[in-house]
Amino acid sequence: MPTLLIATTNQNKLREYSAIFAGLPLELRTLQDLGITDDVEETGATFADNARLKAEYYTARSGLPALADDSGLEVHALDGEPGVRSARYAGPGKTDADRNALLLEKLANVPFHARLARFVCVIALALPDGTIEDVEGTLPGVIDMAPRGSHGFGYDPLFYLLDENATLAELPPERKNQISHRANAARAAREVLERWVAEGKLYS
């Protein structure tokens, strides 16, 4: 059975991928499983750039097919901020609460109806022979006026979903994992993996 390296140390991500890739004839391994501790500097201008950088690096480093992702929040009224800087938005050493506070400060004079935003996740899949493909998943929403909810992480307490009448942080984790940008991207990645399995590419 071929092995797919999931290039993350985040156990929550691993659980999500394991659930969505269930039934594929693949053994999923993580960076920790292989003893890889290298970090890849995310110097790309887009989520796709960063995902591809990481996937290419880790497939070369491990000799295995590799999956890497990059994700973040884009707010229309802020011209796409925080974008690829979502995790570093308030500067080094800052917390999720600090980043949420900065976002609310920047949107202080923006009414609710103009706070349109979306979460984006790009997953890149790379093979040792140089083959690489990426897929994107998105989730549209609105930035709420104040944080709500105790589930999730990052910007989830501010990300209001009109269809759910709740922020992401107010949804049970099971529901979030059904509709999230990462889940949407992972379902598209599964289709790529199914094709690669059928073509025998994961054995090369």
- Beta bridge mates, 66: 5, 126
Is 154 flagged in the annotation as binding?
yes
Is 32 flagged in the annotation as binding?
no
Is 88 flagged in the annotation as binding?
no
Is 96 flagged in the annotation as binding?
no
Residues near 33 by beta carbon (within 8 Å), at least 6 away in sequence: none
70 a catalytic residue: yes
Is 13 flagged in the annotation as binding?
yes
Residues near 162 by beta carbon (within 8 Å), at least 6 away in sequence: 141, 142
SS3 at position 37: coil
What values do phi and psi take at 79, rounded to 5?
A: 55, 40
Is 177 flagged in the annotation as binding?
no
Is 153 flagged in the annotation as binding?
yes
- Count the helix, strand and coil residues of the chain and give each as a percent rounded to the nearest 5: 45, 25, 35
Is 176 flagged in the annotation as binding?
yes
Residues near 185 by beta carbon (within 8 Å), at least 6 away in sequence: 69, 71, 121, 122, 123, 135, 136, 137
Catalytic residue among 33, 39, 69, 70: 70
Is 10 flagged in the annotation as binding?
yes
Is 76 flagged in the annotation as binding?
no
Is 182 flagged in the annotation as binding?
yes
Tell me how far CA of residue 73 lies from CA of 67, 79, 91, 120, 175, in angstroms. 21, 11, 16, 6, 19
Question: Which parts are annotated binding residues for substrate?
Answer: 8-13, 71, 153-156, 176, 181-182
Question: Which parts are annotated binding residues for Mg(2+)?
Answer: 41, 70
Residues marked as catalytic: 70
Question: Which parts are annotated binding residues?
Answer: 8-13, 41, 70-71, 153-156, 176, 181-182
